[in-house]
Structure 1
């Protein structure tokens, strides 16, 4: 058991982090700072290039006025050092000798050429965890590519799937790619730290932004290997059997979106909605009698027609126009409806939900002019709460302070006895997790932990089938609960148990698993686990040292705590939908259950932080993870634009605060596009030269004319050829990859992104790999897509010690279902 001082100190309180990242990786260091680490941001003499990113304080650019910098340098100290200067490099080497983590997002190979690479620094400090974030990873055919947020989203497939069918692919106007990579990098840093606690040695964590972004396709990168029909860009609806099932409707004062309420696990939500409509409107009895849980499947099978859906669509369209967004939100919470108003970020900031949860944190402004309101903690910890206090630093603000502290020993450089040649155990070997999570935001987190050694037992039930089992990509384009590539990708490397939690004996088996576990997870609506007799109090009664994480859309408290749904609805409420739109057009939003992809990372980080706290103190704890609150960390610059400037973000399509031209341009072929981002006059000259248009060089600021000329010139060209041409000149450009392109993408294949696994029905299947490359403790490779309940006996007998006769009795009585 740790001391009282251990219990009071931050999770990473002893750690020092040297952070050389720019706008491509700042979030990683900020997450470590939120966990208590001392993060020293190293800036070049002119200041970090992240200071050039908008929006700006009061709309006026300046190196100390970038709200992007304020957003992601919060919690850090700043020192100015020039990696090209010999004396400054010596200072960096002295910092490295005493550091616990080193973060960098430079061009692969540049720091090594300057004597600051992984091999150089670990020779000085063998315990150092060295994290590299780069557009395409440290090696591979595109390792040297120039990149930007827009081109990174294009390379990872997420851009292609977002936007309107008949328009160019569309990005979220607040940069997202860096945050996907930064959150992955933070998880990777913590995993390497857990390995270091076993061996005393650090290692290299290699993060590819492209690979991180692929999670935002919701595993549609597997379309080609699974022989699934390729995903297409469809905003405001979903296609089933060739029929567009509209999910976006106009409300009295804006827009509202539906969840996928026509799947086996969600059809009852449509029945609830129609019952509400029927209180004031005539509803066709056929709609009330429809089996909405099978509706999408029946369209695919040809057992329903377009006209069957249009009757519902017409009714929904007429009804929603009579309701305000506030009314729709209130009824969604009250009646547990699968719908959400599409709020602007400003509306969420002013909401009673964030107010009652006291979510925002107040931090001193870097300019000394009062305080700024930031997004609060990404998760709420009962025993080790996050404290967000330090503002973003001014350039070189801590130069003298840091130089006085150069003489330091690493906090985690404990000597390890015995030979060190053998490959160490995986970082989380011995950690036991009982996983009641479902869909993606939770299972994606526990998949990551399982990849790195945790023993994860996934509990599900045929009584309430996981929604991820009934969405594509399917094996051979055939809807089957055991054929979903998405489900298997989120759940490989786990043991699969089926259990009826509504049965008293099922509850007792679940409690047995909790007694065994270090961590218990769940992502049901607040109160559901209590209905099963498996609420936090019941779990802690049988295992007082348990770490229990509950992940929901809005958190465990507040007036919207009962808001139900998936990541597409949370994206609607948190402003993502509105921030990915064409001016004057309906909100498009990012693809799929977007906030699920973000929360998967924060759930994993929260569990790792709680495990670190328990290692130091012996204490378990409760974690309240609100998907909406965590996702707001991907929108912090826009959040600050409102709380500091009072300016609500409006749709800007693919334009950028700083770069121009900056857009997605049609190329030769059907629905083929290229993303181009020009950030400087030098890149503009290079673009003009690559296109043989030197006469354009002086016309960069004639935005409309440049866009028209570029679009006309590029349209007949092949996207891949043009990408290569522009990259040769150092211009950030990338073909917008669709889902079949991803499976053939050399940079993903180089990192082993696609893994073929065995499957008891189909013989073999495909899943995505871990998105992290750890040099000393690589992820456990998945070998099998395991079926529901396939490990019932192995777990109940081998782990819990129940007899074969007892297990057979439970199976016969349907308790293991």
Structure 2
């Protein structure tokens, strides 16, 4: 057999039948060393026809996401080729496909399982493999509309805007990799494979900061819109700027991301900001330096501070920042530990001395040159990642693949009876907080891992201060965000400021297989709980540290939430109108991406430990996980000099790709997203609209529509304005045009496809009240996610963890309580 690359998953064979919707899945498998074989027709996968393009017309999308794999050309309508394909299926560990089942049939899943009962078959679709919307015509824009992330952007812009480097399908494809690895752990117990189904719509809901729960829990008017975006009605307590109208500040060479955080969780950072401004000699800030920002929400509610006061405050901050440069913001943020960052571009990132110090960008051949592409999404794991080779030409390795895959006898996985839960027996100490870290533990708990979540009532976790709340009543024990991130976990209250609590942590390290932590880099070491200490206690421990910029590098000490991660990974400048300032994606964007890659890296490390006994420390920088799905934009800059920026909702190959207003519901705007991926879809839309659009033959081609994009969008705006959004969706879907209501949380809760997929689940709490949370975003056919318990209140499981898991007697537990360690 030909030599395979290094990597923790180098023992896996992956058949890739994805179109552009799933292209990143194969890249992620290849990064971890799997032998990924692209099965494509002799015309090639449509990933080869996605923008951007190099001067020769070759797709840089394919160059970016096709890297690291091999290609075999097969026509599955030809019997001989189908025979070869089925032999490949028989040899494979994982098969990944993507597509729209309403437009092109998916593979026969039953037949695939018959050929290879051990096969893990991951299926990525826009809305699901079945259900009322399974055949809906789709575009990246309509998926973003259907899943919830699109609507909140309209609160700070003239309409909803997508991310201009498309992301919706990437989220789903990475979920498919995570799901496939969970299914692989199940197969190790049973010898049997299963299906992994991923809907891009449900994957997109993760990018809403749990806003999608509002309709389910009855938190009225929680979906951020202009009608509820008043700072008086909805002060932003998140720290991420998710619900604020001002987070971008102009400086001389671009923008800085920062918002004036308020409330008990993060208001202290704004107190520090004004202390810093005074120290730096800023003018006109003395009044605002006297405000106590943790209590500002109360002052707003009591009419002690008005919007006019806040606007004067913003103007004073803007005056100070305007003469600065973007990198000055980094220096200020590091010196004073502020939540501030430059809004970076792909150019900035490729030239970043921080990323250079971390050796993040790696060379990938393309033609007669190399591209600098996003590298490993976790550091410190020796041999975990493989270098990616050039994206292959069509069928270039066909003979070698036949020889390698079909010339070997594949040993059958050893069956061992009932499946149980895939991750049962894995023990996790969860020291993470807010979103990015806790979501890793949530996903592990969904599939049977025992996860002990540590927190203290002495410092209320930021996620508890985020809604939505049942009935709209703030209750830190019933935060929808906290429950979404921590369902299934055991809860242990510990004050890590006490030596006694630290001793308990070390005992938990002896017990655990995995530690997940998301403190600021250096904090865990200052507590005496760094990896070197933990490794002495438990040599096989796997520790995952997730932070904004990583554990090392000149900018590693930058503080902040996922909005800062979004700024430092290029996203904050990619959402907004074509002219004017960008507004950025909704909320802490890298908090939505980081957990997906973190779980994949963790499962690969656990698999490696089973084989070698080796643990390890992995450094997951959230900004670097975000960059994984901007690979084509980095290539576009290097090859064509194009710096990706906010471009409204426009797409180089889809015209129109537009969001239009419809009839309002009460005071709330209603919008519909519409895309035409082909000339035929445009003809269908134009026929529905009638008038000059239908009569203009010049619009029959993509080139003609591109030249008239402003006119087409204006005509669509006029056509939808007096129609109901859901009626436009139904009307256009019926004639084959991708369209979808830009969904609010109420729309998502009522969505028949979401209900068909059982995306909202009810779990009883210890007080008998029902907790409603979102389900896992990948569905396993044989061993589905099944969280065992609701998220914990403070100390709910103290006795169980200390007595049953650690074997403490009552005297020791009472002694811990007496010194204040268990709070």
SS in 2 for 1:614: helix
- What is the distance in 2 between the residues matched to 1:412 and 1:568? 47
Aligned to 2:78: 85
Aligned to 1:382: 381
In the superposition, the TM-score normalised over structure 1's length comes to 0.94
Instruction: Kindly indicate whether the alpha-carbon contact (under 8 Å) linking 1:14 and 1:411 is maintained by their aligned counterparts in 2.
Output: no
Aligned to 2:239: none
Aligned to 2:193: 202
**More deviation in 97-106 or 250-259?**
250-259
Change in 2 beyond 3 A, CA 1:590/1:235: farther
Aligned to 2:212: 221
Instruction: Kindly indicate whether the alpha-carbon contact (under 8 Å) linking 1:231 and 1:739 is maintained by their aligned counterparts in 2.
Output: yes
SS in 2 for 1:246: coil
Aligned to 2:346: 345
- What is the distance in 1 between the residues matched to 2:287 and 2:812? 46
Write the deviation string for residues 577-623 of structure 1: whole angstroms up to 9, x where unpaired. 11112233112111000111000101111110110110111100110
Aligned to 1:507: 502
Q: CA deviation at 1:714?
A: 2.2
- What is the distance in 1 between the residues matched to 2:449 and 2:806? 17
Where in structure 2 are the equivalents of 1:341-490 lying within 5 Å?
341-365=342-366, 367=367, 369-408=368-407, 413-417=412-416, 420=417, 422=418, 424-490=419-485
Aligned to 1:13: 10
Query: Where do 5+ consecutive residues of structure 2 fail to align?
Result: 236-243
SS in 1 for 2:129: coil
Change in 2 beyond 3 A, CA 1:46/1:242: same
Change in 2 beyond 3 A, CA 1:311/1:257: same
Aligned to 1:678: 676
Aligned to 1:101: 94
* Structure 1 residue ranges (4+ consecutive) displaced by more than 6 angstroms after TM superposition: 109-113, 234-238
Aligned to 1:333: 334
- What is the distance in 2 between the residues matched to 1:258 and 1:344? 17
Q: CA deviation at 1:321?
A: 1.6
Aligned to 1:53: 50
Change in 2 beyond 3 A, CA 1:78/1:260: farther
Aligned to 1:807: 813
Aligned to 1:649: 644
Write the deviation string for residues 659-707 of structure 1: whole angstroms up to 9, x where unpaired. 1111111222241111112111122222223445642454241333322
Instruction: Kindly indicate whether the alpha-carbon contact (under 8 Å) linking 2:102 and 2:134 is maintained by their aligned counterparts in 1.
Output: no
Aligned to 2:123: 132
Matched, 1:150 2:145: no
Where in structure 2 are the equivalents of 1:617-656 lying within 5 Å?
617-656=612-651
- What is the distance in 2 between the residues matched to 1:382 and 1:348? 23
Change in 2 beyond 3 A, CA 1:370/1:134: same
- What is the distance in 1 between the residues matched to 2:405 and 2:530? 49
Aligned to 1:230: 222
- What is the distance in 2 between the residues matched to 1:349 and 1:768? 37
- What is the distance in 2 between the residues matched to 1:237 and 1:549? 37
Change in 2 beyond 3 A, CA 1:806/1:544: same
Q: CA deviation at 1:10?
A: 2.1
Instruction: Kindly indicate whether the alpha-carbon contact (under 8 Å) linking 2:509 and 2:537 is maintained by their aligned counterparts in 1.
Output: yes
Give the alignment partner of residue 656 of structure 2, picking from 654, 661, 665: 661
**More deviation in 276-285 or 618-627?**
276-285
Aligned to 2:725: 719
Aligned to 2:22: 25
Instruction: Kindly indicate whether the alpha-carbon contact (under 8 Å) linking 2:30 and 2:69 is maintained by their aligned counterparts in 1.
Output: yes
**More deviation in 469-478 or 193-202?**
469-478
Change in 2 beyond 3 A, CA 1:296/1:265: same
- What is the distance in 2 between the residues matched to 1:176 and 1:234? 25
Aligned to 1:776: 782
Where in structure 2 are the equivalents of 1:221-300 lying within 5 Å?
221-228=212-219, 229-233=221-225, 239-241=231-233, 246-259=246-259, 261-279=261-279, 280-282=281-283, 287-300=288-301
Change in 2 beyond 3 A, CA 1:452/1:87: same
- What is the distance in 2 between the residues matched to 1:234 and 1:364? 47
Q: CA RMSD in A?
A: 2.3
Q: CA deviation at 1:385?
A: 3.1
**More deviation in 769-778 or 232-241?**
232-241
Q: CA deviation at 1:19?
A: 0.6
Change in 2 beyond 3 A, CA 1:100/1:109: farther
Change in 2 beyond 3 A, CA 1:333/1:176: same
Query: Where do 5+ consecutive residues of structure 1 fail to align?
Result: none
Instruction: Kindly indicate whether the alpha-carbon contact (under 8 Å) linking 1:168 and 1:664 is maintained by their aligned counterparts in 2.
Output: yes
Instruction: Kindly indicate whether the alpha-carbon contact (under 8 Å) linking 2:73 and 2:398 is maintained by their aligned counterparts in 1.
Output: yes
- What is the distance in 2 between the residues matched to 1:235 and 1:524? 36
SS in 2 for 1:514: helix
Write the deviation string for residues 95-123 of structure 1: whole angstroms up to 9, x where unpaired. 1111111111133388878xx42110111
Matched, 1:37 2:34: yes
Instruction: Kindly indicate whether the alpha-carbon contact (under 8 Å) linking 1:241 and 1:302 is maintained by their aligned counterparts in 2.
Output: no
Q: CA deviation at 1:274?
A: 0.7
Give the alignment partner of residue 685 of structure 2, picking from 678, 684, 687: 687
